[in-house]
Structure 1
């Protein structure tokens, strides 16, 4: 064999080598029950990095893609196993011409019953739907909810859709330039709201949570889970949904105020799998609870976790955490 072919073989072998996967963090089980979901030696893979603040992950099965927001950059990114990272939508949360503030992009993302993209838009202070196909994204939006009783929202943060099409969403101040002290603020509280799928009417469900953030429904759609990202009251709340859609029987799933003093992050975004297990970003990473509220363990991270998304029939968990997007392959 001559040197020409030897060089070709060496080049080919070098190209075939797979770069080592970057990982961070660890799995910390609270008992043996977590083994049914995640192996304690599971890797927390870094699949993308370099963002200002990654948020709102959404797995889109029909397109085999992960969408997520970089809130300060006012952009939605796309990640696929085949092509990796791509810019998907810009602007994503603020369509105004005058720059203002640092957290104006989209935050929470979800799909409606027709498979259309819904965005919680900090800068435009509304819940909106992208008026373009998923395969051909464009910054053209239809407002789904922009005001309550004639007053503009603070900055819708996260949302969940009930099977009948009703939307539940939170409205903390994080997209406001000066937050509570912003002169543009119109609502004197941080609310949790429902948008009726037929009439579009916006109903205030509660104004008693100081910093409502992540929001999710249990699989039976009878209970709403709301994260409070207040360092002085870092709590996950549970509310039953009454037949008239009011919130009743308030209670605490977990109070992690003390934990927040010693680990990065606060109660933020969360997701619930089909068995009712809760994956919630909080101090130190992702906290995992079973359907009865018992803690199963943590996905420990060295940076603040923002949100997560379940994919592939609950066998993959994607996590947005500070400047990272992470993946954990589960059982």
Structure 2
């Protein structure tokens, strides 16, 4: 998932020029100036049942080339985190520190003059609890055991015989169908890479035993993706600096997409003008939307009303709801932060 270029490019360049510490799970990168801690800004009374404006924001992980695709695993009490440019998938446990779960997390042996993000990006779980990976460098959606062990299966890597660009994020429907986005952010030259086989940046649906179905090829930069709790709406963030927005699609009983509209335009984004663009998103069990947007992570009602923003001076790429729905984790540039959700709220 991508943001306004300078922050991301400088961090990726630092990671590419660095080396891993032996036995460690962090990347030795030229550290940028210290960021301020994210701060919560209440925009509407509806935020109060979800998140307290004075909730503590704590740092849980740093020294990451680019924090992406966080996923909480309840039974393990652990957070998984992608680092696409460093090609690492990390696991963090409270009190247990950070370890490398997969390296490479995406594709090994890619050409750095052509592939900018060889690693895993968005993460999800299937009905059997296995880990699903949007493999940016491998240009596929993969499946592996949740502990990273055993064989890795490529589920889908082509549309009508042509390879995807760099799958970015995944949403899993109750019937097992996968919805995923395929922007060109994995390429060094996103729009003109010689590796490109598709002329568009698509949103797709795939079910086991079938072919990928194209939902939309008109979005310039499809990015984060999520499903409403009743499975009637599909949300897709568009990280196009010229027209940043959050889209919503109406889904029929078979999971096909019908009408689409802009749910949140740039003018309605409370952090507009700040770092970042619409990026990863998560949908809570009550339909609340937690969306990476300019200026921080924006909390929205199901109808798109901004309730609050967790503002930050660096781009936030994504988030995860964890700890049995009691906490929110923010993937924020080179760091990950934890924010407790309101007592009694279960995300």
Structure-2-length-normalised TM-score: 0.84
Q: Is the partner of 2:165 in helix, strand or coil?
A: coil
Unaligned runs of 5+ in 1: 1-21
* 1:291-313, Cα deviation, whole Å (9 max, x unpaired): 22211010111110000000123
**1:66, 1:278 → 2: CA distance?**
20
Matched residue SS, 1:303: coil
Deviation digits for residues 208-242 of structure 1, max 9, x if unmatched?
11100000000001100000000011000010012
Partners of 1:238 and 1:91 in 2: CA distance: 34
Q: Rg larger in 1 or in 2? A: 1
Secondary structure at 1:102 match in 2: coil
The 1:178/1:172 distance shift into structure 2, 3 A limit, reads same
Equivalence for 2:341:
330
The equivalences for 1:1-331 within 5 A come to 24-96=37-109, 98-100=111-113, 101-130=115-144, 133-135=145-147, 137-138=148-149, 140-197=151-208, 199-256=209-266, 262-331=273-342
1:221, 1:245 → 2: CA distance?
8
Go from structure 1 to structure 2 and tell me whether the alpha carbon gap of 1:180 and 1:45 turns closer, same or farther (over 3 Å shift).
same
Q: Using the TM superposition, name which of 229-238 and 247-256 deviates more.
A: 247-256
1:200, CA displacement in angstroms? 3.2
Deviation, 1:151, is 0.3
* Distance in 1 between residues matched to 2:62 and 2:339, nearest whole Å: 15
Structure 2 unaligned segments of length 5 or more: list them. Answer: 1-34, 343-347
Kindly indicate whether the alpha-carbon contact (under 8 Å) linking 1:285 and 1:298 is maintained by their aligned counterparts in 2.
yes
Per-residue CA shift, 1:142-196, capped at 9, x if unaligned? Answer: 1111000000000000011001110000000000121111011000000000011
| Alpha-carbon distance between aligned partners in 2 of 1:276 and 1:261, rounded to the nearest angstrom | 23
Asked whether the equivalents of residues 320 and 330 of structure 2 are also in contact (C-alpha less than 8 Å), the reply is: yes
CA positional deviation for 1:111: 1.0
Structure with bigger RCO (C-alpha 8 Å, 6+ apart): 2
**Structure 2 CA distance for partners of 1:306 and 1:53, relative to 1, 3 Å:** same
TM-score by length of 1: 0.88
* 2-structure distance, mates of 1:292, 1:234: 18
After TM superposition, give the deviation of residue 53 of structure 1 in Å: 0.5
Distance in 2, Cα, partners of 1:315 & 1:56: 19
Tell me the CA shift for residue 87 of structure 1.
1.1
More strand by share: 1
Q: Residue 245 and residue 163 in structure 1: after superposition, are their counterparts in 2 closer, same or farther (change >3 A)?
A: closer
Separation of aligned partners in 2, 1:231 and 1:98? 27
Q: Alignment length, in residue pairs? A: 306
Preserved contact between residue 126 and residue 153 of structure 1 (Cα < 8 Å): yes
1:19 maps to none
Residue 154 to residue 228, structure 1, CA distance change in 2 (3 Å): same
Q: State whether residues 231 and 257 of structure 1, in contact with CA within 8 Å, keep that contact through their aligned partners in structure 2.
A: no
- Alpha-carbon distance between aligned partners in 1 of 2:316 and 2:109, rounded to the nearest angstrom: 29
Offset of residue 258 of structure 1: 8.5
